[in-house]
Amino acid sequence: MAERARAGGAPARPASYLNGLNPEQRDAVESIDGPLLVLAGAGTGKTRVLTARVAHILSQGRAYPSQILVVTFTNKAAREMKERIHSMVGDAVEGMPWLGTFHSIGVRILRRHYELVGLRSGFTILDTDDQIRLLKQLIAAENIDEKRWPARMLASAIDGWKNRGLSPENVSPGEGAAFAHGRGQMLYAAYQARLKALNAVDFGDLLLEGIRLFREHPDVLADYHKRFKYLLVDEYQDTNVAQYLWLRLLAQGSKNVCCVGDDDQSIYGWRGAEVDNILRFESDFPGAKVIRLERNYRSTGHILAAASHIIAFNEGRLGKTLFSDGETGEKVAVTGSWDSGEEARAIGDEIEALQRSGHALSQVAILVRASFQMREFEDRFVTLGLNYRVIGGPRFYERAEIRDALAYLRCVMSTADDLAFERIVNVPKRGLGDVAVKQIRDVARASGVPLQEAARLLAESEELKPKLRATLRGLVQSFDRWREQAGHTKHSELAEIVLDESGYTDMWQKDRSAEATGRLENLKELVRSMEQFENLQGFLEHISLVMDVDNGAAEDAVQIMTLHSAKGLEFDTVFLPGWEEGLFPHQRALDEQGKAGLEEERRLAYVGITRARLSARIYFASNRRIHGMWNSTVPSRFLDELPDAHVEVQESKGGFGWGGSGGGAYGASRFEKTEPFTSTYATPGWQRAQTARAASSDPSSRGGYGAGKGSGRGGPLVIEGTLLASSIGGESAFTAGERIFHIKFGYGEITGIDGNKLTVQFDKAGEKRVLESFVEKV
């Protein structure tokens, strides 16, 4: 973070990137010849080492930027590394075309040699959604009951095989038999054949086909050996077998391969990651040097101690001892609350307090185990008027409107893209429903042509009723017209033309639902971002692999994300809600992976705690809604694994619940609550009573409950925010009867005004009370 080498060609002070490195880090940066494994604990400056190492290689003149391969797992990591290298060596980083995720580099390689693996130029990359639809068709064609053997299940099986580097012929018969009475392997083969026919690949193929390419064409591989003088791999503990094979093939050239990883942060076992890869490194690369980074620069003493203590419960680990010279700082706070709503309220209040004391919101993160936990916080923060940002979530590319728009463009680009055509023939609705599509498909099969050509044939035949025939002909002609325009129109303009003329934009403009505005916004964003690309092809690639929602990165907002996507990041203050058995550790991890699953969950806990620089705050709730039903929960076993000396147990600051428990009524497990929370007391009704009592007896307590959301949510309705409203006061800019738009609930009409709070009858969401600042006039 610190150094900023001003480099105009060559750095002014050649070794400035070495400033401030400790001896081990410096060793890792300078040992550039031969294989190197860096075991880097959390917060030990691993990214810093990687970037300084690249700077070192460049400044020593050992390689051109284009001769260094740097592989990361996430786009975020790739982006960050690019920025940091840039700040060290200046513009040279522009020429680092081989810095990216496994998948983006994989596709880059395939694009250069597509003909060698049986693909044609401009092949498309399917995502999970396309995959499922395709598999559904195959399953149906085999007359297999989709209810009993869902496509999703087959997709994950195939994914698993691909993660392990297995093509259909390599799947062991026993395993292949696991799906639909022995037809799994056959379906996998059929799926691959279908992909080839569609000129498409899925995510797994991006690596698998690369491996095949290297194996079957040694000359191509030799070429890459010559090209890549240095290889660097981030998060090595997360590589799966396919990634490992792919890497090993490439690394056999120069042998200057540097892998950085931490076995304690391996959290991707479920997608085939093999911690063994890290243990195997020394035998794979004889003479490999191993460097351990154990000095932690991130977290204060108590946090580090708590994390180290918890991870020590794992058995299968290489074992590292993290230490730091820093201050002991704040103890790790553990807070119990009555239910998930109170948990969200307590965290919201604490964040507001932090904000008041000048803490930047962007330095606060809430890390959840499962994404459904996020909603509660979003609801709460909308009510409080707290800026937040959800990281991860549904990706830009996965949104329906974006996928529709892209499908249109794919159809323009290629008449052979059946999946894209099927997706949009009847979007917007134009009367070409299931029956029509089936007819098109029949023609396609009979004449051996793609769907778009079949549609053309059908439109010219007498098969269809005149009205439908005209519609279909119109569509086919539109595509012909757009295709013709594509030759001489800027691609972003073409996209606008296509979206307008197809009636797609219109469809959303007519839609009055809450999401419609956002969708139109997204479409605009799509067109805008196209302008940065030279052609449609390059854009389509980028969006399927790289593009994520990254708007407003600079704004000051609380970050909400899963523990998985938090790896590699750090924050001053980290909130860790939902530490309950079944949720964390997650039941499915335990059921499916047993002890290994538990250990992976524990590593996830370790990752979570070590994200914090100054303050880590853990929460558990006694009641949580699962599948819509309230369940009482048991505190996570991980809470018991925290070291007493570094933990401070608190009561919920939410103001409610826990009312009578008097300073921690902990049972056998410190966190197992006793009397007031058993049997009859453990009901939402009792809780409501408690809440109401707390509110009435404590005038300073904030009317914490959100905006009348109590309706149907088990929360109290009585204590609504008069206090909050009157404390802020002021004239409202709105009048009753006005139409408004709310960012979360959509359109509605104002029925009442109370200070800065409005009562609104929403078109879709019913009556709610909302803060004025979240509402705009329409």
Q: What is the 3-state secondary structure (H, E, C) of 638-664?
A: HHHCCCHHHEEEEECCCCCCCHHHCCC
User: Residues of 245-280 as b/e, b for ≥16 C-beta within 10 angstroms?
Assistant: bbbbbbbebbebbbbbbbbbbbbbbbebbbbebbee
Nearest distance in Å: CB 375, DNA: 8
CB 63 → DNA: shortest distance, Å? 25
What is the C-alpha separation between 578 and 341, in angstroms, rounded? 11
Residue 482 as a binder of DNA (CB under 7 A): the answer is no
For the bound state, the minimum distance from the C-beta of residue 593 to DNA, rounded and expressed in Å, comes to 7
Segment contacting DNA (CB under 7 A): 165-173, 214-222, 423-431, 646-654?
423-431
Is there binding between residue 562 and DNA (CB under 7 A)? yes
CB of 296 to DNA, least distance (A): 24
Cβ-Cβ contacts under 8 Å for 308 (sequence gap 6 or more)? 321, 322
> Is the Cβ–Cβ distance between 768 and 707 less than 8 Å?
yes
Q: Taking CB under 7 A as the rule, does residue 623 contact DNA?
A: no
Q: Is 108 in the site for DNA (CB under 7 A)?
A: no
Q: Which helix (H) or strand (E) holds 340?
A: helix 340-356
Minimum CB–partner distance for residue 150 and DNA (Å): 7
Q: Is 651 in the site for DNA (CB under 7 A)?
A: no
Piece of 69-77, 183-191, 325-333, 350-358 that binds DNA (CB under 7 A): 69-77
C-beta of 420: minimal distance to DNA in Å? 18
Identified binder of DNA from the candidate list 436, 451, 476, 574, rule CB under 7 A: 436
CB of 209: closest distance to DNA in angstroms?
13
d(CA 37, CA 278): 8
234 is catalytic: yes
Q: DSSP assignment of 725-748, as one string?
A: HHHH----S--TT-EEEETTTEEE
C-beta of 3 vs 146, nearer to DNA: 146
Six-digit token string for 311 = 């991870």
Per-residue CA distances from 477 to 418, 472, 481 (Å): 17, 9, 6
Q: Which of 185, 552, 260, 494 is nearest to 193 (CA)?
A: 185
Phi, psi of 670 (to 5 degrees): -55, -25
Q: Which of residues 576-615 bind DNA (CB under 7 A)?
A: 586, 588-589, 592, 600
Is the previous residue joined to 97 through a cis bond, with omega within 30 degrees of 0?
A: no
Whole-number Å distance between alpha carbons of 417 and 130: 12
Please tell me whether residue 554 binds DNA under the rule CB under 7 A: no
429 in contact with DNA (CB under 7 A): yes
CB of 438 to DNA, least distance (A): 8
Active-site annotation holds for 265 = yes
Q: Does 370 bind DNA (CB under 7 A)?
A: yes
User: Applying CB under 7 A, which of residues 25, 44, 59, 101 lies at the interface with DNA?
Assistant: 101
712 near DNA, rule: CB under 7 A? yes
Whole-number minimum distance, CB 559 to DNA, in Å?
A: 13
* Residue 548 sits in the site that holds DNA (CB under 7 A): yes
**Is there a contact between 3 and 16 (Cβ–Cβ < 8 Å)?**
yes
Region from 191-199, 327-335, 382-390, 432-440 binding DNA, contact rule CB under 7 A: 432-440
d(CA 105, CA 112) in angstroms, rounded, equals: 11
CA separation for the pair 355, 531 (Å, rounded): 38
Nearer to DNA, 350 or 600 (CB): 600
Q: Looking at 162, 229, 389, 611, which residue is catalytic? A: 611
Q: Specify which residues 335 forms β-bridges with.
A: 619, 650
Nearest approach in angstroms of CB 670 to DNA is 26
Enter the DSSP assignment of 371. Answer: G
One of 235, 263, 330, 343 is an active-site residue; which one?
Answer: 235
Residue 203 found at the interface with DNA (CB under 7 A)? yes
Q: Cα separation of 373 and 392, whole Å?
A: 13
> Is the Cβ of residue 103 or residue 298 nearer to DNA in the bound state?
103
**Catalytic one among 44, 51, 237, 265?**
265
CA separation for the pair 256, 621 (Å, rounded): 50
Binds DNA (CB under 7 A): choice among 7, 45, 73, 334: 73
Of the two residues 354 and 402, which places its CB atom closer to DNA in the complex? 402
C-alpha–C-alpha distance, residues 778 and 775, integer Å: 9
764 binds DNA (CB under 7 A): no
Nearer to DNA, 425 or 494 (CB): 425
- Using rule CB under 7 A, residue 537 touches DNA: no
Beta strand extents in 283-324 (DSSP E only): 289-293
List the one residue out of 347, 384, 350, 378 whose CA is nearest residue 619: 347
Segment lying near DNA (by CB under 7 A), choices 68-76, 166-174, 480-488, 525-533: 68-76
8 A C-beta contact, residue 569 and residue 611:
yes
DSSP H helices, 357-512, are 374-384, 400-413, 418-424, 434-447, 451-460, 466-486, 491-501, 504-510
Separation of alpha carbons 297 and 27, rounded Å:
17
CA distances from 727 to 469, 723, 770 (A): 65, 6, 16
List the one residue from 210, 269, 329, 704 that touches DNA (CB under 7 A): 269
One of 183, 249, 270, 457 touching DNA (CB under 7 A): 270
Q: Which one from 3, 26, 30, 47 is the annotated catalytic residue?
A: 47
> Judged by CB under 7 A, which of 10, 446, 553, 626 binds DNA?
626
Known catalytic membership, residue 185: no
Of 557-565, 719-727, 729-737, 746-754, the segment contacting DNA by CB under 7 A is 557-565
- What is the per-residue burial (b if ≥16 Cβ within 10 Å, else e) of 133-169? ebbbbbbeeeebeeeebebebbbebbbbbbbbbbbbe
Q: Which residues have a Cβ under 8 Å from the Cβ of 722 and sit 6 or more positions away?
A: 703, 754
Q: Which stretch binds DNA (CB under 7 A): 90-98, 228-236, 627-635, 731-739?
A: 627-635
Q: Which is nearer to DNA, 329 or 585 (CB)?
A: 585
If the CB atoms of residues 147 and 488 are measured against DNA, the closer one turns out to be: 147
Q: Does 75 bind DNA (CB under 7 A)?
A: yes
Lookup: tokens for 775 = 């509402």
For residues 378 and 166, give the distance between their C-alpha atoms in angstroms, rounded to a whole number: 41
Asked if 128 is part of the footprint of DNA (rule: CB under 7 A), the reply reads yes
Closest residue by Cα to residue 158 from 187, 181, 133, 117: 187
Comparison of 63 and 607: residue with beta carbon closer to DNA: 607
Would you count residue 467 as binding DNA (CB under 7 A)? no
Number of residues that bind DNA (CB under 7 A): 48
235 is catalytic: yes
Q: Which range binds DNA by CB under 7 A, 286-294, 426-434, 531-539, 751-759?
A: 426-434
Q: How far is the CB of 129 from DNA (least distance, A)?
A: 10
Which region, judged by CB under 7 A, interacts with DNA, from 37-45, 71-79, 189-197, 631-639? 71-79
CB of 7 to DNA, least distance (A): 29
Q: CB-wise, 167 or 371, nearer to DNA?
A: 371
Among positions 383-402, residues that touch DNA (CB under 7 A) are: 392, 395
**Near DNA in 149-178, by CB under 7 A:** 159
CB 260 within 8 Å of CB 233: yes
The backbone torsions φ and ψ at residue 542, rounded to the nearest 5 degrees and listed phi first, read: -55, -45
Q: Smallest distance, Å, CB 597 to DNA?
A: 7
Residues that bind DNA (CB under 7 A): 73-76, 101, 103-104, 128, 146, 159, 203-204, 268-271, 369-372, 392, 395, 426, 429-436, 468, 545, 548, 562, 564-565, 586, 588-589, 592, 600, 625-629, 712
Q: Which active-site residues does the annotation give?
A: 46-47, 234-235, 265, 611
